[in-house]
A and B are shown apart, each in its own frame.
Chain A
Amino acid sequence: EDQVTQSPEALRLQEGESSSLNCSYTVSGLRGLFWYRQDPGKGPEFLFTLYSAGEEKEKERLKATLTKKESFLHITAPKPEDSATYLCAVTSGGSYIPTFGRGTSLIVHP
């Protein structure tokens, strides 16, 4: 059974204080790893899909990286509007159904 563990559960940063969120996974044959941003009371918003170790993708202040065991979401010089819950999910083997982690709640203080 696939397992996805996100850490930390919650993170408080000062505006401009760069940091990283972690997503560790245990799967039998990774198909894809997905990062989403979810604001309170809204549906998850797609950020990135990564398919193979060594792959990196960037969008504004966010950069996602992937190894064979984990993914990092790096946030550079965050702003208060980056405050949200960040969800990680994986698909593996012959299944297109993702397994989600419980998310990291990020708060960025001005």
Chain B
Amino acid sequence: DAMVIQNPRYQVTQFGKPVTLSCSQTLNHNVMYWYQQKSSQAPKLLFHYYDKDFNNEADTPDNFQSRRPNTSFCFLDIRSPGLGDAAMYLCATSQLEQGEDTDTQYFGPGTRLTVL
């Protein structure tokens, strides 16, 4: 089945120690998104790639960066995690084109980040 995969599912890091989260997709979608979600809150968009074009949200801290080396993979780098960065990180994809399914996002299972 076509899907969005995130690794690892659980990540524990120390305060200030860089961490990388990964996302891969078999849907061949042209847009990939990274969201941060804290308990009982809506997902908050950090950034997204439309093909190779990177789009950063205005309020995303500089501590967060992303890479998309190819269509299938996208990475979230947190350079110096703080306690406030502990959250669920969600990767999503969508295919932007005319048709019934445009704009619909498909999410991965998420990575739960704990910062000690």
Contacts and interface: CB of A to CB of B under 8 A. Distances in A.
Interface of A: 31-32, 34, 36, 41-46, 49, 51, 87, 89, 91, 96-98, 100-103, 105
A41 B105 contact: no
Contacts of A45: 107
Interface of B: 4, 6, 31, 40-43, 45, 48, 88, 90-92, 94, 96, 100-110, 112
Contact of B104 (A32, A41, A87): A32
Nearest to A98: B105
A89 B44 CA distance: 12
B109 A97 contact: no
Closest 10 CB pairs of A and B: A43-B107, A100-B42, A43-B110, A32-B103, A91-B103, A44-B107, A49-B104, A43-B109, A96-B103, A102-B42
Nearest to A97: B45
A44 B105 CA distance: 9
B90 A43 contact: yes
A32 B4 CA distance: 22
A32 B83 CA distance: 36
Nearest to A44: B107
15 contacts: A41-B112, A43-B107, A44-B90, A45-B107, A46-B107, A49-B104, A89-B105, A96-B31, A97-B45, A97-B48, A98-B105, A100-B43, A102-B40, A103-B42, A105-B40
A97 B100 CA distance: 16
Nearest to B105: A98
B43 A44 contact: yes
B42 A41 contact: no
B42 A96 contact: no
Contacts of A103: 40, 42
B103 A41 contact: no
Contacts of B112: 41
A34 B94 CA distance: 13
A91 B103 CA distance: 7
Given A43-B109, A44-B90, A96-B94, A34 B104 contact: yes
A105 to B, nearest CB: 8
